[in-house]
Amino acid sequence: MAVDSGWPGDGPPARLIMRLQELIKDLPAAELRGGDPEIAGIEFDSREVNAGDLFICVVGADADGHDHADDAVGRGAVAVLVECFLDLPLDVAQVRVAEVRRAMAAVARRFHECPDERLGLIGVTGTDGKTTTATLLTEILLASGRSPGLISTVDRRIGTARAVNPEHQTTLSSLESQRLLAEMVAAGNDWAVLETSSHGLDIGRVDGFAFDVAVFTRITREHLDYHGTVAAYVEAKAELLDLAVVGGGGRGKWAVLPVEDDHLELLRKRAGTIPVLTYGRGAGADVRGTAVTGSMEGVRFTAETPWGTAEIKSPLVGEFNVDNCLAAIATAGALGVLLEDCTRGVAGFTGVVGRMQAVVAGQPFEVIVDYAHTAESLRNVLDLLARYSSGRVFVVFGSAGERDTEKRPAMGAVAALNSDYFVIADEDARGEDRDEIAADIENGALAARPETSHAIIHDRREAIRHVFGKAEVGDTVLLAGKGHEKSIIGPEGPVAWDEIGTARDLLAELGYAAAAGDTD
């Protein structure tokens, strides 16, 4: 897909008009005080409010929308959605609900006339591989003649326009997502692929969405800073199946599950009466990958499916991408896409920005940028590069601040055991002490391999410069954890960052010029 300038959906939304009582009729426990004004728009950021809007007082981790209701009213809000009644002018209608965030999902859906029912809606969740699977599925649907939209960590596609996501967010607010789905309907898309995070599921960002298909990549340990336990994390993921059970626009329901996932039986049970289609390289998969081979030019495998057998060739690097291909093929096949269209779509998909992306500038060593930010994904990538590299394997990585602390020593252990040299650098420290983050990682590395060779260089640019200076002919350098992201979040907020661009700049300093094949 060609990348267009601009960010589809960022323009002003169409100004719809709906009476407040019509808008809140899906909120049976809501209590209304005031009149029944016409609502011309919905906002949860008071700075974006226009005359005639409903302002939603979202309670967040860092701010409470109730504190900004006066500002919203001053900007023209004629109604507010609250969890407690406020001291506002009598001509401002107030709707009280138990949980504003979850109520927002129902209100947004009603306001935009349920676009999730007018599109075939596919949700993709899991730990690693969500973005690749969602984007690859979009390419397969395009190859079959369908017109899919996409909302992912990296991309947004509305109509035929596409652009890269500059934010550190997988699942948008329910208000933003429903608006984008409505724009997809207006632009002629017939399906929408929505990457769905455990956090987004847990806090109601997709509450009530009419999912036709729920697709899972493997679930491994992640986000325990938020969920607390693996069981709670899996439970949040499984909510996507609950939504598929009760929702859908009548296009046929499916649950697409990885056969080698430790939680397969739990997920299968949660799917209830929805038909389950499994995929993977293990025995018993409905869509199975066999005869897998790989190189730095891509992977090849045989796809054995209920619809026939096909030889698949993908430019994606890494055997772990076979599972992503199988998930997309299984989903597309369930929707009636011909296997030959799946084959063509997989062959034409060159990958997602910042996922196993080579930076080529004529240097005598390999440079790979990847989003790997969990122990499992880092192990997969390092194992792959160790097998393909003719020299040593270096890695620059870190771990996010104010997030799961238990994964830090695990990532350190992976780097110590699977690389020849590593540098611990800043990722997104946020307000946490960067030295403590690095120490957590280093302690895990030393516990796994006391004689490990490594350095701590917080400044990520300097860390990359340092490793490039060490790399020799045949070596491979992995820059892990940032991928496509365009900022590093520190104590003062986000600072512009471009991992791929930085790598190019530093290679240029060494006297190498970018090659034509090095693209985003």
Predicted confidence (pLDDT) per residue in 35-75, tens digit? 999 999 999 999 999 999 999 999 877 789 999 999 999 99
In this prediction, residue 259 carries a pLDDT of 96
Q: Would you say 454 and 416 are in contact if contact means Cβ atoms under 8 Å apart? A: yes
Q: Which residue has the higher pLDDT, 68 or 199?
A: 68
pLDDT of 130 strictly over 80: yes
CA nearest 157: which of 188, 124, 130?
188
In this prediction, residue 124 carries a pLDDT of 96
DSSP string, 199-257: HHHHTTTTTT---SEEEE----S--HHHHSSHHHHHHHHHHHHHHHHH---SS--EEEE
Q: Is 371 a domain residue?
A: yes
- The last residue of a domain, from among 62, 78, 111: 111
Question: Are 181 and 277 within one domain?
Answer: yes
CA nearest 213: which of 122, 131, 126?
122
The length of the chain is 520
Sorting pLDDT into bands at 50, 70 and 90, what band is 2? very low
State phi, psi for 187 to the nearest 5 degrees: -85, -5
Q: Would you say 486 and 166 are in contact if contact means Cβ atoms under 8 Å apart? A: yes
Question: Are 107 and 220 within one domain?
Answer: no
Question: Are 308 and 368 within one domain?
Answer: no
Q: Is 177 a domain residue?
A: yes
Domain with residue 85: its CATH number is 3.40.1390.10
CA nearest 54: which of 35, 63, 62, 64?
35
Q: Is 499 a domain residue?
A: yes
Alpha-carbon distances of 253 from 4, 10, 245, 268, rounded to whole Å: 33, 31, 8, 14
Question: Are 241 and 361 within one domain?
Answer: no
State the SS3 of 442-474: HHHHHHHCCCCCEEECCCHHHHHHHHHHHCCCC
Sorting pLDDT into bands at 50, 70 and 90, what band is 519? very low
Q: Is 486 a domain residue?
A: yes
Measured distance CA(451)–CA(137) in Å, rounded: 44
- Percent of the chain having pLDDT more than 70? 92
Question: Are 361 and 246 within one domain?
Answer: no
- pLDDT (mean) for 402-425: 94
Helices (H), 62-214: 69-74, 100-111, 115-118, 130-143, 174-187, 198-202
- The last residue of a domain, from among 111, 138, 156: 111
Domain of residue 289, residue span:
115-348
Q: How many domains does the chain have?
A: 3
Average per-residue pLDDT for the chain: 90
Amino acid symbol at 143: A
- Total Cβ atoms within 10 A of residue 396: 28
Question: Are 391 and 319 within one domain?
Answer: no
Q: For strand 493-496 and strand 487-490, is the pairing parallel, antiparallel, or unpaired?
A: antiparallel
Q: What is the CA radius of gyration of the chain?
A: 24
Least trusted range by pLDDT, from 144-148, 171-175, 436-440, 460-464: 171-175
Question: Are 24 and 145 within one domain?
Answer: no
Sorting pLDDT into bands at 50, 70 and 90, what band is 4? very low
Q: Is 520 a domain residue?
A: no
Domain with residue 236: its CATH number is 3.40.1190.10
- pLDDT (mean) for 435-458: 96
Handedness of CA 335, 336, 337, 339 (dihedral sign): positive
pLDDT of 285 strictly over 90: yes
In this prediction, residue 198 carries a pLDDT of 86
DSSP string, 323-388: HHHHHHHHHHHHTT--HHHHHHHHHH----TTSSEE--SS-SSEEEEE---SHHHHHHHHHHHHHH
Q: Is 2 a domain residue?
A: no
In this prediction, residue 353 carries a pLDDT of 85
Question: Are 126 and 203 within one domain?
Answer: yes
In this prediction, residue 486 carries a pLDDT of 86
Question: Are 119 and 107 within one domain?
Answer: no
CA nearest 154: which of 117, 189, 193?
193
pLDDT of 495 strictly over 70: yes
Least trusted range by pLDDT, from 228-232, 249-253, 328-332, 444-448: 249-253
Question: Are 217 and 274 within one domain?
Answer: yes
Q: For strand 308-314 and strand 421-424, is the pairing parallel, antiparallel, or unpaired?
A: unpaired
Sorting pLDDT into bands at 50, 70 and 90, what band is 221? low
In this prediction, residue 169 carries a pLDDT of 60
In this prediction, residue 410 carries a pLDDT of 95
pLDDT of 214 strictly over 90: yes
- pLDDT (mean) for 224-249: 82
Q: Would you say 129 and 213 are in contact if contact means Cβ atoms under 8 Å apart? A: no
State phi, psi for 171 to the nearest 5 degrees: -105, 120
- pLDDT (mean) for 149-176: 82
- The last residue of a domain, from among 314, 348, 382: 348
Question: Are 183 and 258 within one domain?
Answer: yes
Q: What is the pLDDT of residues 339-381, one digit of tens each?
A: 999 999 999 998 888 889 999 999 999 999 998 988 988 999 9
Q: Would you say 178 and 115 are in contact if contact means Cβ atoms under 8 Å apart? A: yes
User: What is the signed CA dihedral for 381, 386, 391, 393, rounded to 10 degrees?
Assistant: 40
Question: Are 259 and 329 within one domain?
Answer: yes
Domain with residue 396: its CATH number is 3.90.190.20
Q: Is 5 a domain residue?
A: no
In this prediction, residue 1 carries a pLDDT of 32
Measured distance CA(365)–CA(420) in Å, rounded: 14
Q: Would you say 271 and 241 are in contact if contact means Cβ atoms under 8 Å apart? A: yes
Measured distance CA(326)–CA(348) in Å, rounded: 15
Q: Is 148 a domain residue?
A: yes
pLDDT of 109 strictly over 70: yes
DSSP string, 259-321: TT-TTHHHHHHHTTTS-EEEEESSTT-SEEEEEEEEETTEEEEEEEETTEEEEEEE---STHH
Report the predicted TM-score, pTM, of the whole model to 2 decimal places: 0.83
User: What is the signed CA dihedral for 4, 6, 7, 12, rounded to 10 degrees?
Assistant: -130
